[in-house]
């Protein structure tokens, strides 16, 4: 396993991070526990979760993933071996705090204490803002996102959030803080205000990044490298589509796309053609397409950790093993050629 420092902190994290959002919906508690056991045995000690999980989100599954992690901590006594990341939701989900989930002082306190209880721990190593109060161009909004907010009001909220997070850092309930689904403007504003007011500095940014989603380049890539705020890449397999299992409208039973009642924003003709092209590259060089895609993400200098997820042990083992794959120059050149044909597919 490869390990990196989390931003400017002294926290060391595994380059492969175990994503957990299927536990409590697609995976049982026992399966979640087995995944954590195996991941840790392979040197993966960085786990990522969120109060909202399991996904696809429902009122019935809210908080279940954190609960499963908590029972594993209680059963194994392994809390001190894990770097644990969780998140507070942004506004827009009606069943969480009665739909009044603006990220502010009140909601941070409520969300953090509830997460700690479910996780059966006294602290969270990395506490992240799941998406901005302003909205996000992620989750299929890249074509429609238009910033419409008062920057002065946003700045005041940023300071309130940083002050609140700082109080929990001093109380020992949070070790580091991070962003998720944030923009270049937002990221730089968080960093600017933390410096100006001597408040906690964002250590990481968790945004979508994969062969079929490279919006992190070039602006956020530059910020990540030069401001020491590493990317935690989510959906490095494009929500599973890079495997090819959804080609031609297929919806295998038990998969996320078969369960998700929300708009499948990645399901576009352009995305399908891009996936076919990447599968063609993998076949040409005798590679597993998922391992190729994960190895591409692992190799990026701005990536601090690659958040993998799996519903089966076979998938998990293959995904973790991708850390050992180094892509030759010819493969990278072919990947770049496909990227130029399909620069933005959803």
Residue-wise pLDDT for 42-72, tens only, equals 999 999 999 999 999 999 999 999 999 999 9
Rounded percentage of the chain residues whose pLDDT exceeds 90: 90
Query: Which two three-digit tokens encode residue 129?
Result: 């803002």
Whether residue 258 has pLDDT greater than 90: no
Read off the pLDDT of each residue in 165-189 and give the average, rounded to a whole number: 98
Residues 309 and 317: beta-carbon distance below 8 Å: no
Distance between CA atoms of 224 and 230, rounded to whole angstroms? 5
Whether residue 158 has pLDDT greater than 80: yes
The pLDDT assigned to 146 comes to 87
pLDDT band of 264, cuts 50, 70, 90: confident
- Let me know if 343 is exposed, middle or buried by CB neighbors in 10 A (0-12, 13-18, 19+): exposed
The pLDDT assigned to 257 comes to 87
pLDDT band of 142, cuts 50, 70, 90: confident
Residue of 3, 53, 123, 137 marked active site: 53
Read off the pLDDT of each residue in 143-153 and give the average, rounded to a whole number: 90
Distance between CA atoms of 287 and 289, rounded to whole angstroms? 6
53 is catalytic: yes
Distance between CA atoms of 9 and 126, rounded to whole angstroms? 10
Among 196, 191, 215, smallest CA distance to 7 is for 191
- Average pLDDT of the residues of the chain: 96
Distance between CA atoms of 88 and 108, rounded to whole angstroms? 7
Q: What is the CATH number of domain 3-243+300-325?
A: 3.20.20.100
The pLDDT assigned to 203 comes to 98
Among 132, 49, 50, 62, smallest CA distance to 97 is for 62
Read off the pLDDT of each residue in 130-156 and give the average, rounded to a whole number: 91
Residues 7 and 203: beta-carbon distance below 8 Å: yes
Q: What is the pTM of this model?
A: 0.96
The pLDDT assigned to 260 comes to 80
Residues 91 and 101: beta-carbon distance below 8 Å: yes
Q: What is the pLDDT of residues 278-329, one digit of tens each?
A: 999 999 999 999 999 999 999 999 999 999 999 999 999 999 999 999 999 9
Buried b (16+ CB within 10 A) or exposed e, 51-64: bbbbbebeeebbbb
pLDDT band of 254, cuts 50, 70, 90: confident
Whether residue 247 has pLDDT greater than 90: yes
């Amino acid at each position: 396993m490869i390990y990196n420092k989390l931003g400017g902190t002294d926290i060391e994290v595994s380059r492969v991070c175990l994503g957990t959002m299927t536990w409590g919906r697609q995976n049982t508690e026992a399966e979640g526990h087995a995944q954590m056991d195996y991941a840790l045995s392979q040197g993966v000690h960085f786990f990522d979760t969120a109060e909202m999980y399991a996904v696809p989100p429902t009122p019935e599954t809210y908080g279940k993933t954190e609960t499963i992690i908590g029972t594993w901590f209680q059963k194994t006594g392994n809390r001190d071996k894990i770097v644990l990341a969780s998140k507070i939701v942004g506004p827009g989900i009606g069943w969480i705090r009665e739909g009044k989930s603006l990220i502010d002082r009140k909601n941070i306190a409520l969300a953090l204490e509830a997460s700690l209880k479910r996780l059966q721990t006294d602290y969270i190593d990395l506490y992240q803002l799941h998406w901005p109060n302003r909205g996000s161009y992620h989750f299929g909004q890249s074509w429609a996102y238009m910033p419409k907010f008062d920057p002065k009001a946003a700045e005041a909220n940023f300071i309130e959030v940083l002050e609140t997070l700082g109080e929990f850092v001093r109380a020992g309930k949070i070790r580091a803080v991070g962003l998720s689904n944030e923009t270049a403007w937002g990221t730089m504003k968080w960093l600017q205000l933390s410096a100006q007011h001597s408040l906690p500095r964002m250590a990481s940014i968790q945004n979508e990044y994969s062969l079929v989603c490279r919006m992190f380049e070039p602006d956020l890539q530059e910020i990540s490298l030069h401001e020491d705020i590493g990317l935690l890449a989510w959906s490095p397999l494009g929500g599973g589509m890079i495997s090819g299992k959804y080609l031609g409208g297929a919806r295998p039973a038990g998969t996320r796309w078969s369960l998700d009642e929300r708009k499948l924003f990645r399901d576009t003709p352009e995305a399908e053609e891009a996936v076919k092209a990447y599968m063609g590259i993998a076949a040409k060089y005798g590679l597993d397409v998922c391992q190729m895609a994960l190895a591409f993400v692992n190799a990026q200098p701005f990536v601090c950790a690659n958040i993998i997820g799996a519903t089966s042990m076979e998938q998990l083992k293959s995904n973790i093993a991708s850390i050992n794959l180094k892509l030759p120059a010819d493969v990278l050149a072919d990947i770049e050629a496909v990227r130029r044909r399909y620069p933005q597919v959803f």
